[in-house]
Amino acid sequence: MNDNISESRGTFNSMDASGENIIVAPDTGANKLNVTNWLEGIPGTENLCDVVEVRFKNTRKGYYATVNKLPLSKGDVVAVEASPGHDIGVVSLVGPLVRLQMKKNGVNEPEAALKKIYRKAKPVDFEKWYQAVALEHDTMLRARQLAASLNLSMKISDVEYQGDKTKAIFYYISDDRVDFRELIKLYADAFKVRIEMKQIGARQEAGRVGSIGSCGRALCCASWMSNFVSVSTSAARYQDISLNPQKLAGQCGKLKCCLNYELKSYVDAQKEYPSTSVVLETEAGPAYHRKTDVFRRLMWYSYRKDAEATDLIPLDVDTVKEIIAMNKKGIKAPELISSLVDENEELGYLNAAGEDSISRFEEKRKKKKKKKRGPEASAGDRSARPAGQNGPSQNAGGAPSDGRRGGPQPQRGDSRPNGNRSRHKGPRPGGPNGQGGQNRPNNPNGQNRQRNAGGQNGQNGQNRPAGTPPSQSQQA
């Protein structure tokens, strides 16, 4: 599909289930002057109104009556009545909200006087529509050249062709009244269609073209605003906004429409405020008003009358009223003192959620040194360990003790010194000389040493005295 259709009409080309090429108009909310149907999906609200809203190029919309109870939904491309011929548009709203939109936009015509919807668009209608939309850009450029040739003080801002390509609407901007009778004749000869001229303002042009405002959002005149109210510089004065033309002007070159949004709130809040032209008489000298914070109820004064004063003193509204009452009695007020509390307090970072520093991921973690494990490392640790510290103590017989009550506790495993490796009953497979087959003889230095604490045969109460050889303790 032509890009001009997708940009100005909000539609694109697609394929249905049978493979036929159709037009799709999705409800993305990005179309100009889009309306959200908050009653959609509620049973019984679809057929409450026989009038639907149809949108055309950019911000142009119309209200049409359905014929023969034609079932329509939002996004359907329809052929509607026009003069002469017919036009192609997209249904933008159905249901009872259409009546509210008609009332909002000032459309008071009865249903019988409204133009009708003929049918849903057919492939033949789409083909003519494509051809008409493809001519719009070139027609606009040619129309500007013809208007410049007649030295007319006007600007052709947009051109819109009717769906059946029998009529073209030329939107123009002009500060003065323009006699374009000769221009219409040139247009009719050049474009071979019926000509209609419509004058619009700078705000309407910005809405039709569309752009992004200084707030970062889409222009109000392109997204939702249809009625334009005059804006004056007094709206900026009431809100204490700097009268800088570059900041107050919108994309259209006029004052921003949003200056009127909060104007009533500022006017109502300032009704009880003292006049800003009153000079406060104090012992330190006269104080002149500089600015006002309406919603904080603060008024700033300075002892200097020039515009470059920097020694601003904030005062509460009630304090200003008291000083004015004192001045009316002929009494000068004392030197002004700021009404702000903790004016120089600095707000730091508060770690309320228990988060660590934001630079914690940038810090490199220190690698931990791995300790060596093995017989060599354990033997080295024992040799370097001082006696009586961090290790098992040695009893009188030289065997290690884990501090338990009783005699020595031999270590398990192959590294157990001076003792039987295990109490294995029966012959071992293998041959003599340490190769198995014979039981290993008991240790002569500690014959039949018991594992349990106490004397022989596991009986308690016969502990070996310290310093007594094993043989003597056994003889005893």
Q: How does DSSP classify residue 86? A: E
Please determine, for residue 129, whether its predicted confidence score (pLDDT) is greater than 70: yes
Please determine, for residue 147, whether its predicted confidence score (pLDDT) is greater than 90: yes
Please determine, for residue 404, whether its predicted confidence score (pLDDT) is greater than 50: no
- Classify strands 393-394 and 313-316 as parallel, antiparallel or unpaired: unpaired
pLDDT band of 170, cuts 50, 70, 90? very high
Name 104's Cβ contacts closer than 8 Å, sequence gap at least 6: 226
Higher per-residue confidence, 439 vs 116: 116
**Cβ(77)–Cβ(119) below 8 Å:** no
- Classify strands 285-293 and 280-282 as parallel, antiparallel or unpaired: antiparallel
Please determine, for residue 365, whether its predicted confidence score (pLDDT) is greater than 50: yes
Cα 291 to chain centroid distance, Å, stands at 34
Please determine, for residue 126, whether its predicted confidence score (pLDDT) is greater than 70: yes
The torsion of the CA quartet 207, 208, 211, 216, rounded to 10 degrees, works out to 30
CA distances for 17 relative to 41, 72, 121, angstroms: 25, 20, 18
pLDDT tens sequence across 271-330? 889 998 899 999 989 999 988 888 888 999 998 887 666 788 999 999 999 999 999 999
pLDDT of residue 96: 86
Q: What is the DSSP string of 222-264?
A: HHT--S-----THHHHHTT----HHHHB-TTSSB-GGGGTSHH
pLDDT of residue 180: 87
pLDDT of residue 64: 94
Closest of 56, 88, 10 to residue 171, by C-alpha = 56
Cα 185 to chain centroid distance, Å, stands at 53
Query: Within a 10 A sphere around the Cβ of 303, how many other Cβ atoms?
Result: 17
Higher per-residue confidence, 282 vs 418: 282
Higher per-residue confidence, 191 vs 34: 191
Please determine, for residue 190, whether its predicted confidence score (pLDDT) is greater than 80: yes
pLDDT of residue 385: 52
Please determine, for residue 21, whether its predicted confidence score (pLDDT) is greater than 70: no
pLDDT band of 150, cuts 50, 70, 90? very high
Q: Mean per-residue pLDDT for 382-396? A: 48
Dist. CA 67–CA 80, nearest whole Å: 11
Best-predicted range by mean pLDDT (67-81, 157-171, 217-231, 445-459): 157-171
Dist. CA 204–CA 193, nearest whole Å: 25
CA distances for 219 relative to 93, 107, 252, angstroms: 21, 24, 10
pLDDT of residue 310: 74
